[in-house]
Structure 1
Amino acid sequence: MRKIILSVLGILFIIGAFYVAKSLISSKNRPKPVVQKVVKTVFVDTVKNKTIEIVIPANGSLVAQNRIELFSEVQGVFNGGSNAFKPGQKFSKGQALIRINSGEYYASVQSAKSNLYNSIAAIMPDLRLDFPNVFQKWQNYLNQFDLNKTTPALPKVDSDKENYFITGRSIVSNYYNVKNLEERLSKYNIYAPFNGVLTEALVTKGTLVRNGQKLGEFIDPSVYEMEVAISKTYADLLKVGETVQLNNIDTNKTYKGEVVRINGNIDATTQTITVFIEVKDEGLKEGQYLEAKLNAKDEPDAIEVDRNLLLDNNKMFVLKDSLLDVIEVKPVHFTDTKMVVKGIPNNTIILKRQVPGAYAGMLVTPYEEKKNATKPAKN
């Protein structure tokens, strides 16, 4: 009985192995699935060479072309000026910006002027006797001498004898001593050299001002300058008098400027050259940040494309018969996002946007914008 059972199991195992082998053989003959090739759609553009205006971007902040820092050369109590000495206060040309109390010093000047007058008056009798021909001009000088006005220049000496006589009486030394005191007296008042506005005030009325102390800043708000640094490559392309477009990044407002100076020295560290641009506008303020666009030159037979389309510094992808190919180009100018290139024939189809994983020989299809069909109007 046992032998019969083992025989039946062996027969069943052989039959099962036969069917398993048959299924394995049949599975090898199944056709492999066909992998469909993916064709990428790309954005393209047709080359039309033209003259490209190369614009150099630069930026900087505005500084008043006419500005003065106010310092005191004398000591005294600050008395104010024609208007309140506060930031934002406007002054017209000739108005007193600063008045410092000069009462004590004024008295010493008047004393020196009186001594000069007395010393000249003391020599008049001798002049009448010894120099009758010059007596009248010195008499006229005394007649026009006014202690409340600026001391007039001494009469011109006609001879050495007269010069020795006048000098020996210390007239000349007394005169220049008075002029020196008058010059220092004028420093107690500071007048506006132009129409402008006070941008900084460091003292108030009643403050004790010391010699050398800074008092404030005064500017002319009608004319500003902007200093920009550009590459030395364009040093020979820029010219004084060239018009420059200035943009306010915050408000998108544009201004018209003019190149007024170009530094002849190249910065050894940055290899840049400094250009000064003058701009006039009532809406501008000192310290305002602007962006300048300087017209460097016109580049003929060139196109402007995205900078990321450049390969290996001098190559670009083109489309030929639905296949990508690579050609050599000549980049002539770069900006942050764009570049100007030459050397691409007209009507050449180039990529308009970068394609990830692109390679020469890659099969692509150009993107075509679908135009919406016009629906017939209903009656």
Structure 2
Amino acid sequence: MRKIILAVIGFVLIAASVLLAIMLIANKNKPKPFKEKIVKTVFTDTVVNGTVQITIPSNGSLVAKRRVELYSEVQGVFKMGTKLFKPGQQFRKGETLIRMDASEYYASVQSSKSNLYNAIAAIMPDLRLDFPDVYSKWQDYLNSFDIKKTAPVLPEMDSDKENYFISGRGIVSNYYNVKNMEQRLSKYTILAPFTGILTDALVTEGSLIRNGQKLGEFIDPSVYEMEVAVSKSYAHLLKIGEQVVLTSLDKTETYKGFVSRVNGSVDPTTQTITAYIEVKDEKLKEGLYLEANLSAKQEKDAIEINRNLLLDTQQIFVVRDSILDVIDVKPVYFSESKVVVKQVPNGTIILKKMVPGAYAGMLVRPFVNKNNDQESAN
């Protein structure tokens, strides 16, 4: 019985070994699975060289081209005028902005005029005797002298004798002293230098104004300037008179301006050059923040592409017979998202959008818009 059991176990082991050998042989001869190549679809564009307008983006806030900071050169009490001295108040050219009480100083000026008149009148008898030829013109001067008006210009001296005589009596020094006081008297009234609007008022009617005190700011709201900083590498592209399009931050308003001035020096800290853009519009206000695109130069025989299409090696991808390749290009201008390049032959098929993991020799399939093909065929 024992021999029968051992014979059965041996038969089973032999059968199992044979089956395992057959399975191993079958798996060895089985062909390897075919790995299908992945062909990526890419967006392409055909190069047509042309003239590319290079624009330099910048931004800044508006400042009135004509603005005046008002300061007092004399001391006095601010008197009430026909218009309130308040921010937003408009004044026409020549209207009184500020008028200070000058009654005390006015009396001093009148006293000096009187002294000048008396000094000339005192020498008239001597002029009649010693200088009869010039007596009449000095008499005419006295007749035209009005103490309520500014002192008239002294008669012209015809000879050295007359000059020595008049100067020796202190007439000339008295005259210039009067003119000096008249000039100072005029500073008690500040007139509007141009038609504009008051943007800042630091004093009120009835307050005491001191010498050197700032009174406010006055601007012309019809013309504004925007100061922009441009990299020194683009300085040679800026041209005075070049048209500039200005837009608001929310892109809802557009204004037209032009480059009015370009600074001749480079800021040593930022290595930028300041350009000034002049703009006129009734909607504009001082301090408004705008964006500007400066039309700097027109680059011929060039194309504009996305910056991510330009490789670090100054090359771009092209498609040749469904295979990616690279060619050398010459970048001439970089903006925030675009780059202008040259030396790309017309008719070259380039990538329109960058392909992740792209490399030279990569198999690709250009994207074809079937809807456009059907429309063109119809």
Shared topology, TM-score over 0.5? Answer: yes
Cα deviation for residue 22 of structure 1 reads 4.2
Describe the SS at the equivalent of 2:264: strand
Contact 2:317 2:351 in 1 (8 A): yes
User: 2:168 maps to which residue?
Assistant: 168
Q: For each residue in 1:162-202, what CA deviation from the matched residue of structure 2 results, as whole angstroms up to 9, or x when unmatched?
A: 22222222222221111111111111111011111111111
**Mean Cα deviation higher: 193-202 or 22-31:** 22-31
User: 1:262 maps to which residue?
Assistant: 262
User: 2:212 maps to which residue?
Assistant: 212
User: 1:125 maps to which residue?
Assistant: 125
Amino acid at match of 1:298: Q
Describe the SS at the equivalent of 2:52: strand
Task: State how many pairs are aligned.
Answer: 374
Is 1:65 the counterpart of 2:65 in the alignment?
A: yes
User: 1:191 maps to which residue?
Assistant: 191
Is 1:239 the counterpart of 2:239 in the alignment?
A: yes
Cα deviation for residue 324 of structure 1 reads 0.6
Amino acid at match of 1:85: F
- Matches of 1:210 and 1:288, distance apart in 2: 33
- Matches of 1:10 and 1:82, distance apart in 2: 130
**Mean Cα deviation higher: 228-237 or 182-191:** 228-237
Considering only aligned residues, what root-mean-square deviation do their CA atoms show, in Å?
2.3
- Matches of 1:250 and 1:86, distance apart in 2: 31
Describe the SS at the equivalent of 2:236: coil
Amino acid at match of 1:287: G
- Matches of 1:149 and 1:249, distance apart in 2: 56
Cα deviation for residue 30 of structure 1 reads 3.6
- Matches of 2:175 and 2:76, distance apart in 1: 26
- Matches of 1:26 and 1:240, distance apart in 2: 86
Is 1:201 the counterpart of 2:196 in the alignment?
A: no
User: 1:84 maps to which residue?
Assistant: 84
Task: Note the residue ranges of structure 1 that are not aligned, 5 or more in a row.
Answer: 375-379
Cα deviation for residue 243 of structure 1 reads 2.4
Describe the SS at the equivalent of 1:291: strand
Cα deviation for residue 72 of structure 1 reads 0.6
Amino acid at match of 1:156: E
The 1:313/1:105 distance shift into structure 2, 3 A limit, reads: farther
- Matches of 1:295 and 1:285, distance apart in 2: 24
User: 2:229 maps to which residue?
Assistant: 229
User: 2:107 maps to which residue?
Assistant: 107
**Mean Cα deviation higher: 54-63 or 193-202:** 54-63
**Mean Cα deviation higher: 191-200 or 24-33:** 24-33
Amino acid at match of 1:174: N
- Matches of 2:37 and 2:78, distance apart in 1: 88
Task: Note the residue ranges of structure 2 that are not aligned, 5 or more in a row.
Answer: none
- Matches of 2:338 and 2:42, distance apart in 1: 19
**Mean Cα deviation higher: 150-159 or 314-323:** 150-159
Amino acid at match of 1:175: Y
- Matches of 2:141 and 2:338, distance apart in 1: 78
Cα deviation for residue 46 of structure 1 reads 0.9
Cα deviation for residue 212 of structure 1 reads 0.7
Cα deviation for residue 17 of structure 1 reads 4.8
User: 1:296 maps to which residue?
Assistant: 296
User: 2:306 maps to which residue?
Assistant: 306
Is 1:344 the counterpart of 2:344 in the alignment?
A: yes
The 1:97/1:313 distance shift into structure 2, 3 A limit, reads: farther
Cα deviation for residue 136 of structure 1 reads 2.1
- Matches of 1:313 and 1:118, distance apart in 2: 92
User: 1:50 maps to which residue?
Assistant: 50
- Matches of 1:221 and 1:64, distance apart in 2: 6
**Mean Cα deviation higher: 240-249 or 4-13:** 4-13
**Mean Cα deviation higher: 7-16 or 213-222:** 7-16
User: 1:356 maps to which residue?
Assistant: 356
- Map 1:6-25 → 2, pairs under 5 A: 9=9, 12-13=12-13, 15-25=15-25
Contact 1:82 1:97 in 2 (8 A): no
Contact 1:95 1:192 in 2 (8 A): yes
Describe the SS at the equivalent of 1:198: strand
Contact 2:239 2:296 in 1 (8 A): no
**Mean Cα deviation higher: 311-320 or 224-233:** 224-233
Cα deviation for residue 349 of structure 1 reads 0.8
User: 1:377 maps to which residue?
Assistant: none
Contact 2:95 2:191 in 1 (8 A): yes
- Matches of 2:20 and 2:50, distance apart in 1: 75
- Matches of 1:251 and 1:320, distance apart in 2: 41
Overall identity of the aligned pairs, in %: 67
Describe the SS at the equivalent of 1:264: coil
Describe the SS at the equivalent of 1:371: helix
Describe the SS at the equivalent of 2:370: coil
Q: For each residue in 1:96-147, what CA deviation from the matched residue of structure 2 results, as whole angstroms up to 9, or x when unmatched?
A: 1111111221121112112222222222222233323222222222222122
**Mean Cα deviation higher: 55-64 or 330-339:** 55-64
- Matches of 2:236 and 2:358, distance apart in 1: 40
Is 1:97 the counterpart of 2:92 in the alignment?
A: no
Contact 1:80 1:97 in 2 (8 A): no
User: 1:151 maps to which residue?
Assistant: 151
Q: For each residue in 1:265-293, what CA deviation from the matched residue of structure 2 results, as whole angstroms up to 9, or x when unmatched?
A: 23344333322222222121122222222
Cα deviation for residue 13 of structure 1 reads 4.7
Amino acid at match of 1:260: S
- Matches of 2:16 and 2:77, distance apart in 1: 121
Describe the SS at the equivalent of 1:359: coil
- Matches of 2:315 and 2:73, distance apart in 1: 67
Q: For each residue in 1:233-260, what CA deviation from the matched residue of structure 2 results, as whole angstroms up to 9, or x when unmatched?
A: 4433433223222222324432222222
